[in-house]
Structure 1
């Protein structure tokens, strides 16, 4: 953020001015290689920093709750709701106040304020560090998973014994000594079991304990869910891109002296998201919990499924709104790139609002699912699945947009997506995304039908605690049971 602030503040780092009388879209004065390089370098630093902080901060926040304390454990069920609430509350501040400052006061102050805010956040984090509950590092989860695959592939001709007890596993004392827990064998992904088959080679790259193999299985079984949540990220990306472009062509006046900045339209998504989270956590969950007996009200996959259904409705709604916009444009002979269609921008409110409501279901559910179903030593890797779906979804959104635009221009056709939305067929593209979302929803249903949740880790810990305290008759029973439920 410091570099970004400098790029809009220092004359040597800013592109040459076009003058106040020239519109930004008509400015052809190029920036220098140095200016472009520093700007993109700052963006890449932000991307790297986001990839390092987001998975770890959310995981660290969840681990501040003690699973052995009933009250804290109950509050932990709402943590991810309020975690996302705080994230989107900051987004609302950015989409309204900061954008207004950037457009009406200056970019230097618009970037300077969040830079100061980040500095204060870092200081608050450092001051609070002594009071946090810390989990000691247990090695790279990527290396652990890689060792399992290397061992399994190296022994692909080896036959897996029918009795899981013949597989390699460490003694319970070795796990207890390091504050870890054994995981019971499960029959899924049997190919990976070859990594635990005992052979003469005792190298960690040739022989892995059952617990390590089961940790790998738990991470692998979430990959189909990750794939199924990429398309929803593509749909969400439209609210930051094409939905904003649509709004820029419409009448954005609110009274005689105020016009909504196009970028501020994203605030509608945030507002509906914040309202939906409060209603869901404070009213929906307590009501439904009485009937389902599920502490979360409904399961994480059910919550995710509701959100995916809303994504289909979002694109159908956006398609209908765009057809209406194009109809008004043609009736009034409006075909210019910068012409304003005589239609209120609030016709887009349903699609922006539905994106916010869907995010309250999809984004929170997949973040909590990836954290909850990841093994204890790989929670950060699990939550990184969440940020991975967002990144891949945004890249895929750009790829689909460019590909559809190129394909629809072939054989002399005008094309669906042009620089001029008043001459485009964005409604066709939205219909395509609606069909894609519909197919993805059925893919998700197929995955959800065969997905098996891990057994509650807290109950397993309590069982082991009782056994290690002498209440069990045999150490062979002191095993963490996180198999299928």
Structure 2
């Protein structure tokens, strides 16, 4: 009798542990206070509308500036076509380089949430500065009179390009982090949530295209017909909405802890690959892990599953 009761007790304890563990995510995600999160209260689709709203508004703001920027430089700052095109392409190139900064900061130090929050604020300040440069008479050159078009002063150029490159810096912290932060809301160890993650990316790119469509049609018309102050002010308002949307979902988010500098780990891989170049690869996949534990040896990182796809 005693042995049967012991067995029953062990089984009940095991069932309780499995039930308890199934209530929490298995990918190491935590809540805002750093505690393990319950699946039913956080992440998943309940958190995604805030992230999708942030991305849609941010893309609307970006394309609201980028789509018609050459026209603004030629008609309002009185630049030549070649100079205007060069300034726009230089700015757009900067917008695609700054994500390297944001990605390293997010992965190494701040995490995705705080990186998005900080760089969104910089982005919003840049949008407001750009709006002021197009609205306040002292910040822009006078209108052309006949063939006489006064050039912008250094101070006017300074205000305009300050706003423009604050936007470039701000997008560097948003572009590499928003999609990844959205993916963090789905538990990779849960097969049902893993399927939903693919659907999230469909909606993510849909929100990007909606923002770009509104900017390329409605906002361009506003800028050409109602004035550039309003044309830049509307994207600034939407960027403010993006920040508000992002912070509104904070209690529902799942967070992944920063895993240290990716540059250091990249060099570790190169050095280890060179030192072990003659090592015979084991046939059993469980021997390929860096440790036999279920979690990664690197804090804040997930353990990669073995695959034969990259032989």
Q: Deviations over 1:332-381 (max 9, x none)?
A: xxxxxxxxxxxxxxxxxxxxxxxxxxxxxxxxxxxxxxxxxxxxxxxxxx
Per the TM alignment, residue 27 of structure 1 is displaced from its structure 2 partner at its CA by 5.5
Q: CA deviation at 1:172?
A: 2.6
Q: Does 1:9 align with 2:129?
A: no
Moved beyond 4 Å, runs of 4+: 176-183
Give the total of aligned pairs: 179
Q: Check the 8 A contact 1:172/1:182 in 2, yes or no.
A: no
Looking at structure 2, the residues matched to 13 and 179 of structure 1 have their Cα atoms a distance apart, in angstroms, of: 47
User: 1:175: how far off?
Assistant: 3.7
Q: Tell me: CA distance 1:134–1:31, structure 2 relative to 1, closer, same or farther (3 Å).
A: same
Q: Distance in 1 between matches of 2:162 and 2:263?
A: 27
Query: Quick one: structure 1 residues 92 and 172, their matched pair in 2 at CA, closer, same or farther if it must change by over 3 Å?
Result: same
CA contact (8 A) 2:130 2:232 kept: yes
Counterpart-to-counterpart distance in 1, 2:309 and 2:269: 21
* CA deviation map 1:305-351 (0-9, x unaligned): xxxxxxxxxxxxxxxxxxxxxxxxxxxxxxxxxxxxxxxxxxxxxxx
Name the counterpart of 2:251. 130
Q: 1:72-83, aligned counterparts within 5 Å?
A: 72-83=193-204
Shift of 1:71: 3.8
Cα shift at 1:5: 0.2
Change (3 A) 1:83 1:120: same
Q: Deviation at 1:160?
A: 2.8
1:171 corresponds in structure 2 to: 291
TM-score (norm 2): 0.51
Distance 2:308 2:236 in 1: 46
Structure 1 residue aligned with 2:277? 160
Q: What's the CA shift string for 1:149-208, capped at 9, x where partnerless?
A: 4x36xx96x67333246x99743338457475555xxxxxxxxxxxxxxxxxxxxxxxxx
Structure 2 residue 208 is the aligned partner of structure 1 residue 87:
yes
Q: Which residue of 1 aligns with 2:65?
A: none
Runs of 5+ unmatched residues, structure 1: 184-479
Alignment CA distance shift 1:168-1:132 (3 Å) = closer
Following superposition, the deviation at residue 104 of structure 1 comes to 1.3
Question: Counterpart of 1:98 in 2: which secondary structure?
Answer: helix
Distance 1:162 1:69, change over 3 A: closer
Query: Helix, strand or coil for the counterpart of 1:82?
Result: helix
Partner SS, residue 229 of structure 2: helix
Measured on the aligned residues, the alpha-carbon RMSD in Å equals 2.9
| CA shift in 2, pair 1:74/1:175, >3 Å | closer
Q: Given the alignment, which residue of 162, 174, 180 partners 1:59?
A: 180
Deviations 1:190-249 (A, max 9, x none): xxxxxxxxxxxxxxxxxxxxxxxxxxxxxxxxxxxxxxxxxxxxxxxxxxxxxxxxxxxx
CA distance in 1, matches of 2:262, 2:230: 41
> What are the within-5 Å matches in structure 2 for residues 109-120 of structure 1?
109-120=230-241
Partner in structure 2 of residue 484 of structure 1: 309
- Tell which has more relative contact order, 1 or 2 (C-alpha 8 A, sep 6+): 2
